[in-house]
């Protein structure tokens, strides 16, 4: 067993419905076998477990691992393709890039780069839009499983309005999807999601084939795009004859509790009711919506209708992997709308963690740092003297500190990432570095600031207090202090 001593922040109760930020300023998590067995003030937990090793993470903050509900792995190299609306960006940027994954060696290195970006940004769970090529998706799953991250992905399918190399047929899509889903769904931490690209690129027969995969491999998830851009929406309505964009999926039985639709920037009122009825979640991707000029997300309308919303980075339409940036952009987008919500930092954290866990059906396992949950966590430790470090030292309270984290935090502040209590490397200075988890209980520490990987006592690593060097109730580090 290991005790992690840290300032703990999480949102076990939905702050859109009365929950508040939970903070243990000098907190402790007792972790064994990847699960959180106890949580409380450090003094109490330490006194009850005097022989256990203590990992000292008091510098900075420990948050639940981020949950990204919409991110495209084949697009890691095209982040930053600014200046185009959705359909032009797909045509000139994204689809051309995705065609390159027909080459297995390209697909392999893109997958490695993607996983590095993900873990380096503190994301521990994600719903990942796959590639159009079955071999590439199979290899992605191999790497995803080895990474130790909690990932759900699938073969992207489409049979119209795509470059010829990306097209498939409903029969082939069904066969390849079922094969991949049977191999990978619920294999350790990875799961399968049925993934038609969007209604524009999928015929009725293709969506029917997708529905068949959901039936053939029970428990698989479903994901696609919806109502992202006004021109796209008009094209879908013209082509499908569906009552709405949402209906184009629903009439094939594709919307269920484990379905996630990305964007939904331009929904009709009936569509929101339909999504709420089906229990389908929406992945809100604010940096993508802004960069592609897709529009301002109507969060209040979603919440009023009872639609579950969580954050997605939408790499590479989005501007990076880090859900802290998505949270800040979500805040800004609401600020800019006459009826926008004034989002609190607790709500931003919820959208980046527990809401995502719920959207992906993982709420029993992750999303907060409660007893009984798996130890999926991210340790933010800004460099001394950095604006975030200064801000945290002068924060008025935990909510204020968290607001500073969303405003100033970046992947460079992420010093450690755990999934199921095991460390996944987010080292960025070595090409081809290992992403595989350490045995349960180990932690990864970014090596760039000092003496290297591992739980040593160098500048870059947390203190590990063993039974032989035990101290009680030591305070210090960069804590949140009342002014
Ligand atoms: N709609 C269909 N494909 C895509 C994609 O790759 N990115 C975004 N943002 N929207 C899409
Ligand atoms: Zn997308």
Which ligand 1 atom minimizes the distance to the CA of 129? 6
Residue 470 has pLDDT above 90, yes or no: no
Quick one: average pLDDT of 410-432?
Answer: 70
CA–CA gap between residue 338 and residue 24 (Å, rounded): 36
Choose the final residue of a domain: 328, 359, 390: 359
CA of 262 to the centre of ligand 2 (A): 6
Residue 200 token pair: 């524009």
**Ligand 1 site-directed mutation target among 94, 239, 290, most atoms within 8 Å of CB:** 94
Residues 149 and 204 in one domain: yes
Among 219, 213, 127, 131, smallest CA distance to 168 is for 131
Does residue 365 sit within a domain? no
pLDDT value at residue 432: 27
Choose the final residue of a domain: 330, 359, 388: 359
Q: How many CB atoms are closer than 10 A to CB 396? A: 12
pLDDT value at residue 182: 98
156 alpha carbon, closest ligand? 1
pLDDT value at residue 458: 25
Q: Is residue 255 within 8 Å of 280, Cβ to Cβ? A: yes
Residue 478 has pLDDT above 50, yes or no: no
Residues 318 and 243 in one domain: yes
pLDDT value at residue 25: 97
pLDDT digits (tens, 9 = 90+) for 357-406: 999 999 999 999 999 999 999 999 999 999 999 999 999 999 999 999 99
User: Which residues approach ligand 1 with their CB closer than 6 A?
Assistant: 72, 86, 90, 94, 197-198, 225, 228, 288, 314, 317
pLDDT confidence tier of residue 423, bands split at 50, 70 and 90: confident
pLDDT value at residue 403: 98
CA of 36 to the centre of ligand 1 (A): 37
Kindly report the average pLDDT of the chain as a whole number: 90
Which ligand 1 atom minimizes the distance to the CA of 317? 9
CA of 441 to the centre of ligand 2 (A): 34
User: How is residue 61 annotated by DSSP?
Assistant: E
Residues 15 and 81 in one domain: no
pLDDT value at residue 461: 52
Residue 304 has pLDDT above 50, yes or no: yes
Which ligand 1 atom minimizes the distance to the CA of 72? 6
Residue 40 has pLDDT above 50, yes or no: yes
Choose the final residue of a domain: 359, 394, 410: 359
Residues 220 and 267 in one domain: yes
Residue 125 has pLDDT above 70, yes or no: yes
Q: Closest Cα to atom 8, ligand 1: which residue? A: 317
Residue written as token pair 């339409």? 317
Residues with Cβ–ion distance below 5 A, ligand 2: 262, 314
CA of 129 to the centre of ligand 2 (A): 7
pLDDT value at residue 483: 24
Question: Length of the chain, please?
Answer: 483
Residues 92 and 186 in one domain: yes
CA of 203 to the centre of ligand 1 (A): 17
Does residue 434 sit within a domain? yes
Residues 163 and 271 in one domain: yes
Residue 187 token pair: 């294999």
Q: Domain range holding 152?
A: 66-359
**Ligand 1 site-directed mutation target among 68, 69, 72, 166, most atoms within 8 Å of CB:** 72
Does residue 278 sit within a domain? yes
**Ligand 1 site-directed mutation target among 77, 114, 197, 260, most atoms within 8 Å of CB:** 197
pLDDT above 70 covers a percentage of the chain that reads 88
CA of 274 to the centre of ligand 2 (A): 21
**Ligand 1 site-directed mutation target among 90, 98, 233, most atoms within 8 Å of CB:** 90
Residues 304 and 188 in one domain: yes
pLDDT value at residue 482: 26
pLDDT value at residue 269: 85
Q: Is residue 210 within 8 Å of 181, Cβ to Cβ? A: no
Q: Closest Cα to atom 11, ligand 1: which residue? A: 225
Residues 24 and 102 in one domain: no
CA of 418 to the centre of ligand 2 (A): 26
Strand pairing class (53-64; 123-129): unpaired
CA–CA gap between residue 246 and residue 242 (Å, rounded): 8
Cα separations (Å) of 78 from 73, 90, 127, 221, 351?
Answer: 11, 11, 19, 26, 25
294 alpha carbon, closest ligand? 1
95 alpha carbon, closest ligand? 1
| Helix (H) / strand (E) containing 354 | helix 354-359
Residues 49 and 152 in one domain: no
CA–CA gap between residue 375 and residue 420 (Å, rounded): 5
Residues 278 and 151 in one domain: yes
pLDDT digits (tens, 9 = 90+) for 431-464: 222 333 332 222 333 333 322 222 222 223 566 6
Q: Closest Cα to atom 7, ligand 1: which residue? A: 317
288 alpha carbon, closest ligand? 1
Residues 217 and 322 in one domain: yes
Among 280, 272, 198, 263, smallest CA distance to 237 is for 198
Does residue 284 sit within a domain? yes
CA–CA gap between residue 346 and residue 281 (Å, rounded): 20
pLDDT digits (tens, 9 = 90+) for 278-299: 999 999 999 999 999 999 999 9
pLDDT digits (tens, 9 = 90+) for 316-336: 999 999 999 999 999 999 999
Does residue 364 sit within a domain? no
Residues 326 and 314 in one domain: yes
CA of 80 to the centre of ligand 2 (A): 14
Does residue 141 sit within a domain? yes
pLDDT digits (tens, 9 = 90+) for 227-261: 999 999 999 999 999 999 999 999 999 999 999 99
Does residue 71 sit within a domain? yes
Residue 414 token pair: 């992420």
pLDDT digits (tens, 9 = 90+) for 173-196: 999 999 999 999 999 999 999 999
The total domain count for the chain is 2
Task: Tell me the CATH number at 420.
Answer: 2.30.40.10
Does residue 237 sit within a domain? yes
Task: Tell me the CATH number at 167.
Answer: 3.20.20.140
Residues 6+ apart with CB under 8 A from 363: 354, 357
């Amino acid at each position: 067993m290991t005790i992690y001593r840290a300032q703990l922040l999480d949102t076990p109760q939905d702050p859109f419905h009365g929950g508040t930020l939970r903070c243990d300023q000098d907190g402790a998590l007792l972790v064994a076998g990847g699960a959180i067995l106890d949580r409380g003030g450090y003094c109490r937990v330490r006194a009850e477990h005097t022989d256990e090793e203590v990992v000292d993470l008091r510098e900075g903050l420990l948050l639940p691992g981020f949950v990204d509900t919409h991110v495209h792995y084949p697009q890691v190299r095209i982040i930053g393709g600014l200046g185009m609306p959705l359909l032009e960006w797909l045509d000139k940027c994204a689809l051309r890039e995705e065609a390159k994954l027909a080459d297995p060696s390209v697909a392999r290195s893109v997958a490695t780069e993607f996983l590095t970006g993900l873990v380096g940004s503190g994301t521990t769970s994600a719903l990942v839009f796959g590639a159009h090529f079955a071999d590439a998706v199979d290899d992605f799953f191999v790497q995803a499983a080895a990474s130790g991250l909690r990932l759900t992905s699938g073969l992207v399918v489409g049979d119209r309005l795509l470059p010829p190399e990306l097209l498939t047929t409903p029969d082939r899509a069904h066969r390849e999807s079922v094969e991949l889903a049977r191999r990978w769904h619920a294999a350790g931490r990875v799961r399968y999601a049925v993934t038609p690209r969007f209604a524009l690129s999928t015929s009725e027969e293709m969506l029917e084939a997708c529905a068949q995969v959901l039936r053939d491999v029970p428990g698989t998830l479903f994901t696609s795009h919806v109502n992202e851009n006004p021109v796209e929406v008009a094209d879908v309505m013209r082509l499908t004859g569906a009552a709405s964009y949402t209906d184009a999926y629903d009439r094939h039985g594709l919307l269920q509790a484990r379905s996630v639709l990305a964007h939904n920037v331009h929904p009709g009122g009936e569509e929101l009711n339909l999504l709420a009825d089906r229990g389908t979640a929406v992945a809100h991707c604010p940096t993508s919506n802004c960069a592609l000029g897709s529009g301002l997300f109507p969060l209040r309308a979603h919440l009023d209708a009872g639609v579950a919303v969580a954050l997605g980075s939408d790499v590479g339409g989005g501007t990076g992997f880090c859900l802290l940036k998505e949270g800040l952009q979500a805040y800004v987008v609401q600020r800019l709308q006459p009826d926008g919500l004034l989002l609190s930092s607790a709500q931003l954290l919820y959208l980046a963690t527990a809401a995502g866990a719920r959207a992906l059906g993982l709420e029993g396992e992750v999303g907060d740092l409660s007893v009984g949950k798996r130890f999926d966590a991210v340790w933010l430790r800004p460099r001394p003297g950095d604006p975030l470090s200064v801000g945290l030292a002068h924060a008025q309270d935990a909510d204020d500190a968290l607001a500073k984290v969303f405003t100033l935090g970046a992947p460079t502040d992420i010093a450690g990432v755990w999934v199921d209590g095991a460390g996944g490397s987010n080292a960025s200075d070595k090409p081809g570095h290992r992403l595989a988890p350490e045995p349960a209980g180990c932690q990864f520490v970014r090596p760039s600031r000092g003496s290297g990987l591992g739980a040593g006592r160098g500048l870059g690593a947390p203190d590990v207090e063993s039974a032989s060097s035990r101290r009680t109730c030591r305070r210090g580090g960069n804590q949140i202090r009342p002014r």
